[in-house]
Chains A and B, each alone.
Chain A
Amino acid sequence: MFGAERTRTLLGPADPARNAAVGPPLVSARELIDRADATETVAGRRRVRPTRRLVLTAGTLAVAAGAVAVLQPFGGPAPDAPGGPGTPAGLVLVPVAYQFDADPPAAGPQLRMLADKIKDAAYDHQSGRYMYHHTKVWGDPVMTSADGRHHVAFAGASKVWQAADGTGSQINTQLEPQYPDQASRDYWQRNLDSRPAVEGTPAPAMIPLPPEELRPPSAVPAELRELLKVEYGAGAASKEVSTLYGRYVVPRATRAAVLRVLADVPGFRWRGQVTDRAGRNGVAVTFDDREHDQQSLLVFDPRTGELLAHELLTLSPVRISSYQVILDTAWTDRVG
């Protein structure tokens, strides 16, 4: 009827999924029900559409601890694989997938709820002379081609041990190059004559840190608002939150206060559950700065309220500008 059979006869052999083996579901029906119910009850009676972006398309999302989530080109090496002769020069970054991608609700109520329920982090039960931070950053600086269209930056890891007087040590390690888009990767693969020094990177040196006055962050809202520069808006506050968590071991009461302060800053939208570039579950808020074509993304640990990651993206086109992933935070007496 209406040529349906003839259509099947003609097209059937060309069906790309005809011989493809489909494995069993990785997620149970019960888990999907939980996911559906969770997204439906967010933001009170608001009905939220499930528009998680399918960032896994055409690539592999690395979820190993310490690895970044990347779009892995076909035939390329595993993400964050050690460099070596013949290794394709780097990875293409894709945006973090948001649970609420379109029409996200205001973040204030969710941030307050999170502030009310957060638990102790592991470091809340630690002590030591040094604050320890292990972070991974990308996007500062970015190298751009002469025509301004193609970008590359090297990811970098940093381990910092810093005492209350500012002294301590730091180790920086340059990692692989990463690109905000495939065109940039293609361009720099063709034009980067001297392969970046991923291979044979010398052992990172321990850098001594000079004394400086470090004032532990206050949990008093008025002081925190000043520290986080909220008067300059959500973009500035996002950056300051990132700086705060990258420098201090933030106690639980202050973490809750930070969330409450952010809840009162206009412009933050709730993005729901996300997976950060280290493969950790988080909850996210964003602020779109249309005037500067920039989006700020903050990813928090849903259990402890710690900041896991901070990212900047351009809005048009949507592209990663920079990211910081806080991989570990602790109190310790030992350096190295």
Chain B
Amino acid sequence: MGVRVGPPKKRDEGWFTSLYAAEYEHMVRYGLRRLADRDASAELAQEVFVVAWRRRAEVPERSLPWLYGVARRLLANQWRSRRAAPDLLSITDVDLERLAGSSGADTSVGVADIRTALANLNDLDQEILRLVGWEELTVSEAARVLGCTGPTAAVRLHRARRRLAEAMSDRPAQTRRSPVLMTIREDL
């Protein structure tokens, strides 16, 4: 996660192989948090790196936010192209217990409350909370993924956290079933 210094490396197969080895797992985890299936997450990760190779001249030294941005757009494109029989699921549909295993922490009431509350937020709120809370990006990095400015992302995070807190105190709230990543770039 450290900042690399020095001139940009040559964008050859060796560079790409290193990038792939270093960031593949992050991409799969990104998919796991938004999809309901490991195979789909792995396929998403592959597509991200196909794009990364094709646009290798554009990949910044600190590549992870850029790669997340690609993954986000692939999923958004994917969703728009599906038109029917959605196979991208909202976070509420993800089999979280199956993904997270059966550790005590992940099955506690508090965790369930957080997940339920998160699922009640709109997609943009969910996404910035996930990027910061789960992908552990800084606010400015999340801004890069979302295609907005840092201050805008900061405000969005603040509001999203407030709405999350409200949702957590609003137990009877009905779980939303809208698909994840419905928001397209123009809406950001």
A residues whose Cβ falls under 8 Å from a Cβ of B: 1-4, 6-8, 10-20, 22-23, 25-27, 29-30, 32-33, 35-37, 39-40, 49-61, 71, 74, 94, 101-102, 181-182, 316-319
Contacts and interface: CB of A to CB of B under 8 A. Distances in A.
A318 B83 contact: yes
B84 A53 contact: no
Size category of the B interface is 35 or more
A88 B157 CA distance: 44
A16 B96 contact: yes
Contacts of A2: 139, 154, 157-158
A32 to B, nearest CB: 5
B42 A26 contact: yes
5 contacts: A4-B132, A14-B106, A19-B100, A29-B49, A36-B54
Contact of B36 (A25, A33, A57): A57
Interface stretch (B2-10, B58-66, B110-118, B170-178): B110-118
B16 A33 contact: yes
Contacts of B132: 4, 7-8, 11
Contacts of B100: 15-20
B32 A16 contact: yes
Contact of A20 (B16, B32, B82, B108): B32
Contacts of B149: none
A123 to B, nearest CB: 34
A292 B137 CA distance: 48
A85 to B, nearest CB: 26
B106 A12 contact: no
Given A4-B139, A318-B84, A17 B134 contact: yes
Contacts of B161: 3, 6-7, 10
Contact of A57 (B28, B40, B106): B40
Nearest to B35: A57
B99 A8 contact: no
Contacts of A57: 35-37, 39-40, 87-89
Most buried by B among A14, A27, A36, A102: A14
Nearest to B117: A14
A27 B21 CA distance: 11
Contacts of B82: 53, 318
Contact of A19 (B51, B103, B114): B103
Nearest to B54: A36
Contacts of A101: 81
B47 interface: yes
Interface string B25-40: 1001100110111111
Contacts of B68: none
A4 B138 CA distance: 7
A26 B39 CA distance: 10
A58 B129 contact: no
B37 A56 contact: yes
Nearest to B88: A57
A274 to B, nearest CB: 14
Contact of A54 (B50, B78, B129, B130): B78
Interface string B83-123: 11101110100111001110101101011001100100000
A102 B77 contact: yes
Nearest to A24: B24
A47 to B, nearest CB: 9
B44 interface: yes
Task: Report, nearest first, the 3 A-B pairs whose CB atoms are least far apart.
Answer: A317-B84, A11-B133, A57-B87
Most buried by B among A3, A7, A61: A7
Nearest to A98: B81
Contacts of A52: 43, 47
A317 B83 CA distance: 6
Contact of B87 (A7, A35, A71): A71
Contacts of A32: 16, 20, 46, 49-50, 53
A139 B28 CA distance: 36
B167 to A, nearest CB: 12
B183 interface: no
A16 B99 contact: yes
A25 B49 CA distance: 11
B133 A10 contact: yes
A50 B53 CA distance: 12
Contact of A36 (B53, B85, B106, B115): B53
Contacts of B129: 7, 11
A91 to B, nearest CB: 13
Nearest to A33: B53
Nearest to A27: B46
B166 interface: no
